[in-house]
Structure 1
Amino acid sequence: MITIAVTFAFACFSLAVMMNLYKVVYAAEVADRILALDTMFINAIVLMVLYGLALGTEVYFEASMIVAMLGFVSTVAYARFILRGNIIE
């Protein structure tokens, strides 16, 4: 029963990643692209956790934490670049 739920969730979040990728490519403003990219990071984290759950290994949980940190830092860097024009002062 858990495999059916994981497979369904994997399909739903894969579709969400594709929708976010479309928004990243075709968004009108840069702020919309940044938000879509941040949401795509979150969906990728969920996909990694689901894949680790399906395989029964803990490696993907640790890797998802690294991706979460990378997503946070990149979102902050993009936002600072839009607001100030540079990342490091």
Structure 2
Amino acid sequence: MYKEIRIVYSDAARNEILKIFKEEKIEKYINLEQVQAMWSKNIRHMGTHIWPGTDSIFILLLEKEKAEQLLKKLKEMKKKLIEGVDMFVTVTPVEEIF
């Protein structure tokens, strides 16, 4: 069984996420960059001088066991993020890949 994992993150977290990918030998993913996002009333990343920065989204398809290991490391990472740097992860079962 496979899982689709989406990691929506502040661009400031990119290097830490990529480090985890390297540790877990994850080489295949999609990265949608420069997404504008509003995390809360006070945290917005719109790529402007008023609300600088943008967010991005990693999309991965992983076997269940590999996905579980990645999720464990991402949860640990999230606990250590500084204020203003956010990340959330969604996991969806995948019925078919062709």
* TM-score between the two structures when normalised by the length of structure 2: 0.29
Higher RCO (C-alpha under 8 Å, 6+ residues apart)? 2
Whichever of the two has the greater Rg, that structure is 1
Bigger strand fraction:
2
* TM-score between the two structures when normalised by the length of structure 1: 0.32
Bigger helix fraction:
1
